[in-house]
Amino acid sequence: MTTLIIHVGQHKTGSKALQSALYANRPYLISHGINYPFDPKGVTSPRPYEMNHYLLFNALRAAVDSRENSATLDHLRVILDNLFATCSIDTKKIILSAEDLFDMHTAHETEFVADRIAFGASLLASELKERDYDLRLVCYVRRQDHLLAAHYAQLIKGTVSNSPSIDEFYQAFQPRLDTNAILKQWESAFGTNAILVIPYETPYMKNGIVENFFASALEIEPPTLTVPYPDDLEALNITPSRDHIEYMRLLNRRQKSGATVMPRHHVLESAFRDDPTSTHGIASWLSPAARVEFLRCYASGNQQIASRFKLGSRLFQEPDPLTDTAWIPYAGLNLNRLLELDTKARNIAHAKSIKKQLHKECFVMTARLPPLVVWLLSTHLSTEDEAVAFKCLAGFIGQPGFDSILVSRIDHKLILRLWRRPVMIVRIDSKQSNFMRLFTYKILRYLGINFVSIASDQMSKLSAFLASHEYV
C-alpha cells in the first residue's frame, strides 16, 4: 500500500524552505520511490506558492465553506485526481504539503472560523481513505509566544488592508494559538497514531527542517542539493525588527488612505539587511514576566500534546523566560530612526531604479552596432608620451570596420554606451600599471568588456594585437 504523507504546517515553521527543497529534489525523491506531485495545470503565483499544494487547501476550504454546493466537492476531487495521476504505480510514498491546512486559514487572515478545521480534516480524511492510501500527517508546531510574533510580522509585511497593534491582533488570533485544540480535530479524523508531531525548535532539528523531515517523515538521507531563498521576500520566513514592523505599519496606513508609498519589497530588503543586533521577535513586545504569564495559558495543552505524542515531559525544550531578566520596554519609532529606515529603503529603491534604467537603455541598443575600441588616455602621460600616443592613434581612429572614441576616464554614461556591443578598452600609459580601480574593473568584467593596458612605447604592437581579436 502506498503511504500518503501530508505535511500540514503550522504556519511559520519553515514550510517554504521544506517545500522548496522537496520541489528542487524531485528526481532524488523519485530515485527512492517517493513522489512530490504537481498538477501541471494548477500553477499559482508568486513563485514560492508554486512549490506547495495550496490549490488543494483552497479547494478543500471552498468545499467546507460551500457544503451544499456539490460543484466545490467535485473540484476538490479533480484536484486530488490530477495530483495522484502524476504518480507512477510503483510509488512507495507520496508527499503533499500545504501549511494552510493546519488551522484551515491563510497566514494573513485575522478572522477565524472554528468549524472549518473539524469539517475540513474529516472531509479530507474521507476522500483520501476512499483512495486506499496509508495516511500519515506531519505537523511542526511552534511555541505560542514565538508563533504570535511571527504571525503578526507576517500580517504587517504581507498586507496593507489591516495594520492592527499586536494587542488587537492577539485578540483576533488567539484561537489559532490553541495548538492542542486544533490537533485534536485532526486526530479525530486521522487518528493519533497517524500523526507525527515535531516541535519547531533547535533541540529537535539542529540542522533545519529539511534534514529533519527527510529523516523523520521520509526515513531517507537528506539531499545534497542546496536550494536558494525564494525571490519573493515576503514569502521568506524571516521576522523583521520591531522598528521595521512599526515603519511598515506606518506605510500600510498611509497606503490604505490613498497615499503613494514606497514599494514593499524595498522596505523588506532593507529590513533583511538591517543590523542583526536589532530587537526581533516576541521579546520586543512582551517582558519576560509577561511572556511567562502568556505561556501559562497554553502550558496544559502543550503538556497534553507531549503526552499523547510521546514527546517527553514537555513539548518545547526552550526554557521559559526568567522573570528577573533585565528588559527595556520598546520606546517607539523616533524620528531619527524613522528617517534612517526610510533613507535605507529609498537608497535600495534608487539603486534598483538605476539598474532597471540601465537594462532598459541597454535593451534598446541593437546587436548590429559595429565593434568599438575605447582609447583611454592616462592623465599621467608626459607631453612626449602623449605626442607619441596621438601619433599612433591617428592611424587607428576612423579606421573602417570599427568605431572608436577617445576618453580620459570611465563613467556611467560611457558604460551605457559600451553595453551589448563588441568592445575593447585600450589604456595607454607611460608604464604597465594597474588598469583602474578594482570597482571599475569588476563592472567591466560583469559587462563582458575586454581591456588591455599598453605602454606608450609599445604602441607599434597594438595593431597586431587588435588584428588577433574580433574588434577590427
- The domain spans of the chain are 3-229+295-315, 368-467
Q: Is a pLDDT exceeding 80 seen at residue 353?
A: no
Alpha-carbon gap, residue 375 to 428, rounded angstroms: 7
Closest CA to 446 of 415, 472, 471, 469: 415
More confident residue, 448 or 209: 209
Residues in CB range of 347: below 8 A, 6 or more apart: none
pLDDT confidence of residue 267: 82
pLDDT confidence of residue 365: 43
pLDDT confidence of residue 291: 95
Coil vs helix vs strand at 445: helix
CB 203 within 8 A of CB 317: yes
pTM exceeds cut of 0.75? no
Closest CA to 308 of 144, 197, 215: 197
- In this prediction, residue 358 has a pLDDT band, given cuts at 50, 70 and 90, of low
**β-strand partners of 198:** 140
Q: Which of 178-182, 242-246, 389-393 has the lowest mean pLDDT?
A: 389-393
Alpha-carbon gap, residue 43 to 454, rounded angstroms: 56
Closest CA to 20 of 46, 49, 40, 42: 49
Q: Is a pLDDT exceeding 50 seen at residue 240?
A: yes
Closest CA to 12 of 100, 96, 97: 100
pLDDT tens for 284-318 read: 899 999 999 999 999 999 999 999 999 999 999 99
pLDDT confidence of residue 359: 52
Q: Which three cell numbers stand for residue 463?
A: 595593431
Query: What is the rounded average pLDDT of the residues 403-411?
Result: 67
pLDDT confidence of residue 348: 80
Alpha-carbon gap, residue 173 to 159, rounded angstroms: 16
Residues in CB range of 299: below 8 A, 6 or more apart: none
pLDDT tens for 188-230 read: 999 999 999 999 998 888 888 999 999 999 999 988 765 555 5
Q: Is a pLDDT exceeding 60 seen at residue 232?
A: no
Query: What is the rounded average pLDDT of the residues 36-58?
Result: 72
User: What percent of the chain lies above the pLDDT cut of 70?
Assistant: 68
- In this prediction, residue 422 has a pLDDT band, given cuts at 50, 70 and 90, of low
CB 119 within 8 A of CB 127: no
pLDDT confidence of residue 54: 92
Q: Is a pLDDT exceeding 70 seen at residue 143?
A: yes
Most confident region among 145-159, 173-187, 419-433 by mean pLDDT:
173-187
Q: Which of 105-114, 120-129, 176-185, 359-368 has the lowest mean pLDDT?
A: 359-368
Q: Give domain 368-467's CATH architecture.
A: 3-Layer(aba) Sandwich (3.40)
Q: Which of 22-36, 204-218, 430-444 has the lowest mean pLDDT?
A: 430-444
CATH fold for domain 3-229+295-315: Rossmann fold (3.40.50)
pLDDT tens for 260-271 read: 887 877 888 887
Q: DSSP letter string over 89-152?
A: TT--EEEEE-GGGTTTS-TT-----THHHHHHHHHHHHHHHTTT-EEEEEEEE--HHHHHHHHH
pLDDT confidence of residue 68: 83
Mean pLDDT across the chain: 80
* Cα dihedral 288/294/298/300 (nearest 10): 70
pLDDT confidence of residue 257: 82
Query: What is the rounded average pLDDT of the residues 346-367?
Result: 61
pLDDT confidence of residue 432: 45
